[in-house]
A and B are shown apart, each in its own frame.
Chain A
Amino acid sequence: MKHNLFLSWKFFLERKRQSLVATMGVIIGTAAFIVMSSMVNGFQNFFLKEALNINGHVKIMVEPTTDETEILREFYGEGLFEVLGYKPKEEKDSIRNYREIVRKYERDKNVVGITPHLVSNGVVIYGVKEKGATLVGIFPEKEERTLSLSEYLIYKRLEELEKDKNSVILGIKLAQELGIYEVGKKITLVAPSGEVYRLKVVDFLNTGITEIDKSRIYLHIKKLQDLLDKAGEVNEIVFKLRDYNLAEYYAKKLSVETGYKAESWQESFKNFLSIFKIQKIITNSVIFAILIVSGFGIFNIVMMTVLEKKRDIAILKAMGYDPKDIVLIFTLQGLIVGLLGGIIGNVVGFFILEWLETIKIEVEGIIRTQGFVLDRNPLYHAYGFIFAVLTSFLASFYPAYRASKFHPVEVFRSGG
């Protein structure tokens, strides 16, 4: 082995320019893989972490009214029906036995916390500005135990909702759009019934997820029940599980056992998850393309070496080097490129990530951050290195195999 490595190393060193170009390709490929993986997964993990923290893992909700034609068919059988319109019945909007459900599942070892909500839509008015908003009525203590809401409040004043039922927490983007930049301001809330209430802003919600921060208003559940004239009612129960991967299983289970619609976080965020999936496919395609290009770089240098070194391969065979040695010499040459490129690419990737972490820029899209959200997972470095070595091995194997097939006599007869 050492004799093969000795020759591979010499071939690598003596062909400085080609070796450098091929190694650069692997360095770029490895560094790009690490940086892109950290950025894409950082963004996705951030979104999911925050979204799950604030929305829970599974929620039971009131099923939207089903197709009326189906209902008529249940009663009257097959026939010609046409529903021209309907009026939803009030009782369908709430989970009637929610206390029992909460009591029952609080004992489940996989359930970390349960918090009931009353959710509705409303219009918030401040001065001349008005915005549509999602009103979420909560039990502050239960909410805190289950979803750690305080973590996302600027002033950590969740208990204010308990102390003063006429207080609200505003999503920070919503507040900014209304022109509210400090607590203590009074907003006007218009309930779906058309009734108007004056409420005091006691805190701002800042999850970093734009969609939530620009639409959500938290208030005490009792206050919302009063506003909506739904005393004692809830229309959503949020569950936090010990393992978020159990969400789909629990959604099915809850749906069957409670008779209400249960939605896992995967279902709730399926649009985002689809986008993430596409994003990952695109990222992986780009990385794959970079690796292919660097692979071709290695293929090129090894193939050129092999073609230029026919004469040397022939003499090596004459000196007793067998085909396996020849394969090893040129595969090792590719592996040297892969190993060096993989190691240096890892270092370069590491320092690019370090640098990206220091950059302070306002990122605003699906999420809002003060810079790049990076997932500094050491596995990306390990994968980057493995991909570099694997690509190098695959790219150099074929030329090496071809080299091993050269017949020395044919080379000598052709004058080398």
Chain B
Amino acid sequence: MGDEVILRAENIKKKVGDYEILKGVSIEVKRGEFLSIVGASGSGKSSLLYILGLLDKPTEGRVFLEGEEVDFKNEKRLSFLRNNKLGFIFQFHYLIPELSALENVMVPMLKKGISFEEAKERAFSVLKRLGLEGKESRKPYQLSGGEQQRVAIARAVANQPSIILADEPTGNLDSFNTRRVMEIFKELNQEGITILMVTHERELALETHRIVEMRDGKIIS
């Protein structure tokens, strides 16, 4: 882990109607860091993740990704950054049911402009690494919950992002698969991928380099 700040948010506020979800949150994520954000339900951790992941606009505040200030009005640039620099993993795998495991992993690569053949090759390789060899042609419904989440991880890392943003990635898994996912995250992190994980499970957070705790839309530690 180096000192280079890969993702920085300054004084982020988010209001929905009259309700303020985030009340001036500032956070820095360093390259190669495995950071977790913990907090009770409604503390604003997912809202912060969506803003850091450029999926939502802050009402106030600024976000810098690899030194570039994000222009939340530029939809095209936001899409480019999400495709090239970010990888998402959610509590539910959100795999596209019409596509096989392999095709699901190929989807972000094809958007990046990688050729069909190369995307296929890379998807094979990532799935093999995550222990899904031989299951490439299966549809999501033909895979177990743990396998589905591993396909989702493969999809998130396929474009070699600068940072992976994971929102309760183990929230829907049993303890065996939770462990497996955490091991994969650690392996990916050791290879230099920055991971920002939102979780309400403190014991999982303890396995990360740094824990940021949120309550009522603020970082408290």
Measuring CB to CB, which residues of chain A are less than 8 angstroms from any residue of chain B? 2-3, 6-7, 10-11, 13-15, 311-312, 314-323, 325, 408-409, 412-413, 415-416
Q: Which of A312, A325, A409 contacts B96 (CB 8 A)?
A: A312
| Cα separation A87 to B145 with both chains bound (whole Å) | 104
Cβ-defined contact, A320 with B94, below 8 A:
no
Residue of B with least CB distance to A321: B111
Q: Which residues of chain B are within 8 angstroms of A320 by Cβ–Cβ distance?
A: 79-84, 108, 111-112
Cβ-defined contact, B110 with A3, below 8 A:
yes
Chain A proximity mask over B64-99: 1 for CB below 8 Å, otherwise 0: 000000000001100111111000101010101111
Q: Which residues of chain B are within 8 angstroms of A325 by Cβ–Cβ distance?
A: 79, 111
Cβ-defined contact, A317 with B55, below 8 A:
yes
Chain A nearest CB from B17 CB (Å) reads 14
Chain A nearest CB from B21 CB (Å) reads 11
Cβ-defined contact, A318 with B53, below 8 A:
yes
Interface size counted on chain B using CB atoms at 8 A: 30
Q: Which residues of chain A are within 8 angstroms of B33 by Cβ–Cβ distance?
A: none
| Cα separation A13 to B56 with both chains bound (whole Å) | 33
B155 interfacial contact with A, CB 8 Å: yes
Chain A proximity mask over B40-71: 1 for CB below 8 Å, otherwise 0: 00000010001001011000000000000000
Q: Which residues of chain B are within 8 angstroms of A412 by Cβ–Cβ distance?
A: 50, 55, 90, 167
Can you give 21 contacting A-B residue pairs, CB < 8 Å?
A6-B116, A7-B96, A10-B103, A11-B98, A312-B96, A312-B97, A316-B96, A316-B107, A317-B82, A318-B53, A319-B83, A319-B88, A319-B155, A320-B82, A321-B83, A322-B76, A322-B79, A408-B55, A412-B50, A412-B90, A415-B92
Q: Which residues of chain B are within 8 angstroms of A15 by Cβ–Cβ distance?
A: 98
Chain B nearest CB from A260 CB (Å) reads 73
Residue of B with least CB distance to A11: B98
Q: Which residues of chain A are within 8 angstroms of B98 by Cβ–Cβ distance?
A: 10-11, 13-15
Cβ-defined contact, A317 with B79, below 8 A:
yes
Q: Which of A6, A14, A318 contacts B55 (CB 8 A)?
A: A318
Q: Which residues of chain B are within 8 angstroms of A7 by Cβ–Cβ distance?
A: 96, 107
Cβ-defined contact, B96 with A318, below 8 A:
no
Q: Which residues of chain A are within 8 angstroms of B88 by Cβ–Cβ distance?
A: 315, 318-319
| B interface majority secondary structure | helix
Q: Which residues of chain B are within 8 angstroms of A319 by Cβ–Cβ distance?
A: 82-83, 88, 107-108, 111, 155
Chain B nearest CB from A304 CB (Å) reads 14
| Residue among A317, A320, A415 with most chain B CB within 10 A | A320
Chain B nearest CB from A4 CB (Å) reads 9
| A interface majority secondary structure | helix
| Cα separation A317 to B53 with both chains bound (whole Å) | 11
| 112-128 of chain B: CB within 8 A of chain A | 112, 116
Cβ-defined contact, B108 with A409, below 8 A:
no
| 139-158 of chain B: CB within 8 A of chain A | 155
Q: Which residues of chain A are within 8 angstroms of B83 by Cβ–Cβ distance?
A: 319-321
Q: Which residues of chain B are within 8 angstroms of A311 by Cβ–Cβ distance?
A: 94
| Cα separation A320 to B86 with both chains bound (whole Å) | 9
| Cα separation A413 to B44 with both chains bound (whole Å) | 12
Residues A416 and B107 in contact in the complex (CB < 8 Å), given A319-B155, A320-B82, A323-B75: no
Cβ-defined contact, A416 with B111, below 8 A:
no
Chain B nearest CB from A276 CB (Å) reads 49
Residue of B with least CB distance to A413: B46
Residue of A with least CB distance to B82: A320
| Cα separation A15 to B116 with both chains bound (whole Å) | 23
| Cα separation A7 to B56 with both chains bound (whole Å) | 25
| Cα separation A242 to B129 with both chains bound (whole Å) | 80
| Cα separation A3 to B83 with both chains bound (whole Å) | 13
| Cα separation A15 to B99 with both chains bound (whole Å) | 12
Chain B nearest CB from A341 CB (Å) reads 21
| Residue among A312, A408, A412 with most chain B CB within 10 A | A412
Cβ-defined contact, B75 with A409, below 8 A:
no
Q: Which residues of chain B are within 8 angstroms of A416 by Cβ–Cβ distance?
A: 92, 94
Cβ-defined contact, B82 with A318, below 8 A:
yes
| Cα separation A319 to B104 with both chains bound (whole Å) | 11
Cβ-defined contact, A314 with B110, below 8 A:
no
Residue of A with least CB distance to B53: A318
| Cα separation A299 to B106 with both chains bound (whole Å) | 28
Cβ-defined contact, B94 with A315, below 8 A:
yes
Residue of A with least CB distance to B100: A10
Cβ-defined contact, B84 with A312, below 8 A:
no
Chain A nearest CB from B168 CB (Å) reads 11
Residue of A with least CB distance to B84: A320
Chain A nearest CB from B78 CB (Å) reads 8
Chain B nearest CB from A377 CB (Å) reads 41
| Cα separation A311 to B99 with both chains bound (whole Å) | 14
Cβ-defined contact, A3 with B107, below 8 A:
yes
| Cα separation A310 to B150 with both chains bound (whole Å) | 22
| Cα separation A290 to B99 with both chains bound (whole Å) | 34
Q: Which residues of chain B are within 8 angstroms of A409 by Cβ–Cβ distance?
A: 50, 55-56
Chain B nearest CB from A314 CB (Å) reads 7
